[in-house]
Structure 1
Amino acid sequence: MHAVFIILIIFGSIASLFLVPAWLKSQERQKLQDTLRAAIEKGQPLPTEVIEALTSDVKVRPKPSPQRDLRVGIIWMGVAVGLAAMGFAISFEDADALYPMLGFAAFPGFIGLAFVLISFSGRGQKS
């Protein structure tokens, strides 16, 4: 019975990572619509910028830049160092755990290294 609860907690937490932000965004839009409805009922005119902002659902993504690539690369390399440190800590109890954890840590480490190299190669270019 405990195994079922553990599995439900794991999958529930993974599902909540996707469902909670979507629910919060829908609540925010609902409050905005209520505010606009109250303004319309009181006879206040709506600016055209507000209407354009509501009708266009364009997500603004930051442009790729060398600084952003460097930050992402450092974060990935930090994840790799953390996994390697966890493997080192586990190896005190089980000596066979070090090399698999180092191999697992190599994946985010090389991703981070690629981002850092991309940031250095893009320094001279204009965005």
Structure 2
Amino acid sequence: MNEDVYIPMVLFGSMTVIFVAWQYYRFRSRLETQHTFRLALEKGSELSPEFIKQLGEPARNKDHDLRRGLVALAFALGFATLGAAIPDPEATPVTLGVAAFPFFIGIAFIIMHRFGNKNES
């Protein structure tokens, strides 16, 4: 196999591993929460709505979309800077094209923050 293929394979493979691990641990956390509910019900405890809300999903910060948008913009800026720093003239348009994805996702998150529901906690 050509050595030039290994770098993109490792890059996308590592991103896949990180995403799968994040999903797995999120799944395990929800499974443990359900186990806690089941155990409390089996012991005869009464579950109040406050208790269920406390054990459920954590409350999202009202600036959650803004933070995600800024992180995506920073990632795009870093990728664009990487493209500008590489001396190969063919690499710059490619890295700018890749940087466009997190850039527009970041813009979308910032727009969602600006025009989204302000009643969230």
User: Normalized against structure 2, the TM-score is what?
Assistant: 0.55
Deviation at 1:122, TM superposition (A): 3.0
Cα separation, 2, equivalents of 1:99 and 1:121: 32
1:113 matches 2:110: no
Q: Could you tell me the percent identity over the aligned residues?
A: 33
**Structure 2 gap ranges (5+):** 48-54
1:86 aligns with one of 47, 58, 82: 82
2:83 and 2:46 map into 1 onto residues whose CA distance is: 54
Amino acid corresponding to residue 48 of structure 1 in structure 2: S
| C-alpha distance 15-74 of structure 1, shift in aligned 2 (>3 A) | closer
Normalising by structure 1, we get a TM-score of 0.53
Q: What is the aligned-residue RMSD (CA, Å)?
A: 4.2
Aligned to 1:60: 57
2:116 aligned partner: 122
1:77 matched to 2:70? The reply is: no
Tell me the number of residue pairs that the alignment of Structure 1 and Structure 2 aligns: 100
Gapped runs of 5+ residues in structure 1? Answer: 37-45, 51-57
- Deviation string for 1:54-113 (max 9, x for gaps)? xxxx85153473x111001001101101111111122x1x11110111111011101101
User: Of the two, which has the highest radius of gyration?
Assistant: 1
